[in-house]
Amino acid sequence: MAEFATELTAITTIDQTEALVLGVESTDDGPVVVAAGLDENAVTGIQDQLEALGVKGKADEVTRIAGSTTGFDAKIVVLTGLGSTEAPAQGTPMLDNSPAGEISAEALRRAAGAATAKLAGTAEITMALPADSAARLTAIAEGAVLGTYSFAGYKTQQDNGEEDQTNGVDLKIVTELADADKLLARATAVARATFITRDLVNTAPSHLFPGTFAQEVEALVENSDVTATVYDEAALAEGGFGGLLGVGQGSSNPPRLVKLEYTPNNAKGHIALVGKGITFDTGGISLKPAGSMETMKSDMAGAATVAGVLHAVAELGLDVNVTGWLAMAENMPSGTGIKPSDILTIRGGTTVEVMNTDAEGRLVLADALVAATEENPDVVVDIATLTGAAMVALGVRTTGIMGAEDVRSELADAAATTGEIVVDIPIPEEARAGFDSNVADLKNTGERYGGMQGAAAFLREFVGDTPWAHLDIAGPSFNESSPRGYTAKDATGAMVRTLIEFVANRDN
């Protein structure tokens, strides 16, 4: 994984800088410059140029102008669109809990990220966006850092001679807040966790399979307060993890289960996080169409998210006991792979008839959920790129939350703070009946319709009475379209920020 080398600093006055970022809000009366800590006459000079520059202030709109034409001591002045504060269309959810009629924290997060994404190779960036509250400063800091992300991957040379923008960026934010340094430290930890998740998901499956994935996670937490335990195929067999062994038996790369433990003194509770880690999903013998396999290196995004969250929780020193369970397997078709009608025995003894080998994520999660609940945590949350049905129902930017009502509500509240888009979805009473089997306790497929809720109903069978919620991130975890705001192309790190907020809210 790439080294995280972005530095965040709070400043109260603006000195010379390489790039100065100002906001532009879209209003009924036209675009308006929104800035902090700047001379009013200089801002008026920029305002007078907006029409000639064609600046509208729309979200993700970024305009660069030479600093010499502005009166500011900057090589480049960047105008980044904040969008409109008008009420959203009827039925459209607010992206965060900012007051109506004000520039939201999420709008600032997105604008900051859009600006830094267009400043690749810039070593020093000053953000003069309105950072006059903890929520706003946090959002600007997170967005600005997340916008700098790039994954160099395996190219022997960079396209067009561009520099790697992830390294050596000095980000300064204008603010008068007394606790700015603390807020920026938190934003740095959250951004670092998101980068970790993005890097893992973006890694090629030739390089990241269960064994190497486990090694990467071990190395990640080696010098932290997180302890890693890796269960290899022998330990999985001894422990009765039939779901992981079954899904992984068709691959030459055997499965792994990684347990991460963060146990601070005087912990205020115990949260278990479970992540699906299918390092590549061909569908097994129930083979996917070729086009559906192109992004299947991302089928381990749930496990990558849990790894990133545990890293941040430890870095922030939160007083909550958090255990992560990363269920890793590679789903391949071969002479040793599981077949439709095979019977697997999940940890704890529940038998499952395999009807479709492409419904494999729920099998590895079942093992991990049983192991997690055996430790009697206060709550368990699993996160997975679980169903194509989630994308059909919710699109590619929205996470579905299912499970116990109080846990769903708690996660939705955390998402309202972080600006991530979620939908709270009950599991229909009839969903479980579709998994009845004539020869086993369950089968791994249910009714054709409502597949997202059906998969959640299957998982619910393995948590007992433990309060539980399931996050389906099949859509938002991987961005196949163009970058937007602070959201990069390919891996996004969806729900990393929300799960960190969820844990932090229990540290009260």
pLDDT-wise least confident of 144-158, 274-288, 348-362, 477-491: 144-158
Q: What is the pLDDT of residue 159?
A: 61
86 labeled binding residue: no
Mean per-residue pLDDT, 95-122:
87
* Mean pLDDT value of segment 361-389: 98
Catalytic residue status for 288: yes
Per-residue confidence band for 41, with pLDDT thresholds at 50, 70 and 90: confident
Q: How far apart are CA 442 and CA 165, in angstroms?
A: 49
Per-residue confidence (pLDDT) for residue 39, from 0 to 100: 82
Sign of CA pseudo-dihedral 243, 437, 382, 404: negative
Question: How far, in Å, CA of 277 to CA of 257, rounded?
Answer: 9
Mean pLDDT value of segment 357-371:
98
Share the mean pLDDT of the chain: 94
Cα separations in angstroms, 407 against 309, 326, 402, 420? 18, 21, 9, 17
Of 288, 397, 484, 489, the catalytic one is 288
**In terms of pLDDT, which residue wins out, 98 or 357?**
357
Is 358 known to sit in a ligand binding site? yes
Is 155 considered catalytic here?
no
**Which DSSP symbol is given to 24?**
E
- In whole angstroms, give the CA distance from residue 190 to residue 333: 38
Check whether 163 has a pLDDT greater than 90.
Answer: no
Phi, psi of 257 (to 5 degrees): -125, 125
Examine the pLDDT at 79 and tell me if it is beyond 90. Answer: yes
In the chain, the amino acid numbered 316 is: L
pLDDT at 158 over 90: no
Q: Supply the pTM of this predicted model.
A: 0.96
Question: What's the pLDDT at 99?
Answer: 62
Domains, the chain, ordered by start: 7-177 (3.40.220.10), 227-500 (3.40.630.10)
Q: What is the pLDDT of residues 203-257, one digit of tens each?
A: 999 999 999 999 999 999 999 999 999 999 999 999 999 999 999 999 999 999 9
More confident residue, 357 or 155: 357
Q: Is 281 annotated as a binding residue?
A: yes
CA distance 144 to 178: 20
Q: What does the pLDDT average to over 9-19?
A: 93
Answer yes or no: is pLDDT of 93 > 50. no
Q: Which residues pair with 484 in a beta bridge?
A: 487
Bigger pLDDT: 256 vs 90: 256
Mean pLDDT of 316-342: 98
Q: Does position 374 have pLDDT exceeding 50, yes or no?
A: yes
Work out the pLDDT band at 15, boundaries 50, 70, 90: confident
- 362, 443, 497, 506: the catalytic one is 362
Ranking 34-48, 81-95, 217-231 by mean pLDDT, the lowest is 81-95
**Per residue in 418-434, pLDDT tens?**
999 999 999 999 999 99
| 444-459 pLDDT, tens digit each | 999 999 999 999 999 9
Q: Is 268 annotated as a binding residue?
A: no
**Which pLDDT does position 164 carry in this prediction?**
47
Asked whether the predicted pLDDT for residue 151 surpasses 60, the reply is: yes
pLDDT, position 38: 87
pLDDT classification of 95: cutoffs 50, 70, 90: low
Q: Which amino acid is at 499?
A: L
In which band, very low, low, confident or very high, does the pLDDT at 90 lie, cut at 50, 70 and 90?
A: very low
Q: What is the model's pLDDT at position 88?
A: 54
Element (H, E) at 180: helix 180-202
**DSSP H helical segments within 270-324, as ranges?**
301-316
The answer, yes or no, to whether residue 162 has pLDDT greater than 60, is no
Q: What's the confidence (pLDDT) of residue 152?
A: 79
